């Protein structure tokens, strides 16, 4: 059985981060171990008055206990990190658990639609570059890519050459593979473009562009992609599974966006995911 670690917050209500990663990767048949970076009563995307308990100090203790019982992982995946200080601690966690065969996957969660999520700063973005350097795979959206490269967010004003150039620059941060999400060259389709620095190859996969904003779809995508890679699917197939499942979850939520504005109804789509990985 494959085993991975997911390092991100637990938002008790709101369906993102760990409450998305655990059920999705478990459904894929992977033993997933959680390192919660913070406990929030809800996520920060549209709620006010949420509680926030920082767990930075717990992470090194969890790591040293796990080392003492010789735990090993097929992948270590990171998402929302709650504080600037956590990036360094997660970087030490990578050093503790990197092996010759496992994957370090970083989703540099910082913002979307050209804006930082609540509480994030340019200082955080520059520290995040350091974590991306250690990763095997990074999964930024276009906003996070611009922040990592310290460039202007261009909105929808880009073409394929611009994205390819961005992918190459992102790979120079240090990771072998870059998967850029939320790429759309026309109003009908949206998907991802990726670049492998070792083989110098680009690839892309697009699905239907569904108008609207759906919270936490980045977390659904990154959990599914990480799970598929851990299961042993190649990058192309893993991207296809992750995009198709994310779009499936969005379609399933259409029509109930009013009550379900805070996250997609991924739970009802889990049987489809199990079919996709058969
Ligand atoms: O989905 C990214 C995310 C994760 N965790 C928390 C968030 C967000 C985005 O808003 O607020 C706590």
Encode pLDDT of 151-174 as tens digits.
999 999 999 999 999 999 999 999
Across the chain, mean pLDDT equals 97
**pTM to 2 decimals?**
0.97
CA distance 66 to 32: 14
Question: Ligand 1 pocket, 78 CB below 6 A?
Answer: no
CA distance 150 to 129: 10
- State how far the alpha carbon of 100 is from the alpha carbons of 35, 74, 90, 218, in Å: 22, 10, 19, 28
β-strands 177-186, 189-196 pairing: antiparallel
Encode pLDDT of 208-239 as tens digits.
999 988 999 999 999 999 999 999 999 999 99
Question: Ligand 1 pocket, 216 CB below 6 A?
Answer: yes
Question: Ligand 1 pocket, 43 CB below 6 A?
Answer: yes
Residue 59: closest CA among 22, 31, 32, 97 = 97
Question: Ligand 1 pocket, 44 CB below 6 A?
Answer: yes
Give the number of the atom of ligand 1 that is nearest the alpha carbon of residue 16: 1
Encode pLDDT of 92-144 as tens digits.
999 999 999 999 999 999 999 999 999 999 999 999 999 999 999 999 999 99
Tokens of 196: 């492998």
Compute the distance from residue 226 Cα to the ligand 1 centre, in Å: 18
Encode pLDDT of 54-102 as tens digits.
999 999 999 999 999 999 999 999 999 988 899 999 999 999 999 999 9
């Amino acid at each position: 059985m494959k085993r991975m670690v997911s390092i991100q917050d637990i938002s008790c209500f709101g369906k993102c981060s760990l409450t998305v990663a655990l059920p999705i990767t478990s459904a894929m048949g992977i033993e997933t171990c959680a390192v919660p970076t913070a406990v929030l009563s809800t996520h920060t995307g549209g709620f006010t008055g949420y509680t926030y308990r920082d767990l930075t100090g717990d992470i090194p203790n969890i790591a040293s206990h796990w080392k003492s019982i010789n735990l090993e992982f097929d992948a270590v995946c990171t998402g929302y990190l709650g504080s600037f200080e956590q990036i360094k601690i997660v970087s030490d966690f990578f050093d503790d658990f990197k092996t010759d065969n496992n994957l370090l996957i970083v989703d540099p969660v910082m913002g979307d639609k050209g804006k930082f999520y609540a509480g994030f700063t340019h200082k955080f973005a520059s520290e995040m570059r350091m974590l991306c350097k250690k990763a095997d795979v990074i999964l930024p959206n276009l906003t996070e890519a611009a922040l990592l490269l310290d460039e202007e967010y261009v909105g929808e004003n880009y073409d394929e050459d611009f994205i390819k150039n961005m992918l190459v620059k992102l790979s120079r941060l240090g990771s072998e593979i870059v998967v850029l999400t939320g790429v759309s060259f026309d109003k009908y389709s949206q998907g991802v473009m990726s670049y492998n620095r070792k083989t110098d190859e680009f690839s892309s996969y697009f699905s239907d562009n569904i108008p609207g904003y759906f919270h936490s779809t980045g977390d659904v995508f990154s959990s599914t992609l990480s799970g598929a890679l851990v299961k042993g699917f190649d990058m192309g197939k893993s991207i296809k599974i992750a995009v198709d499942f994310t779009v499936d979850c969005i379609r399933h939520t259409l029509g109930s966006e009013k009550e379900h504005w805070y996250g997609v109804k991924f739970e009802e789509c889990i049987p489809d995911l199990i079919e996709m990985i058969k």
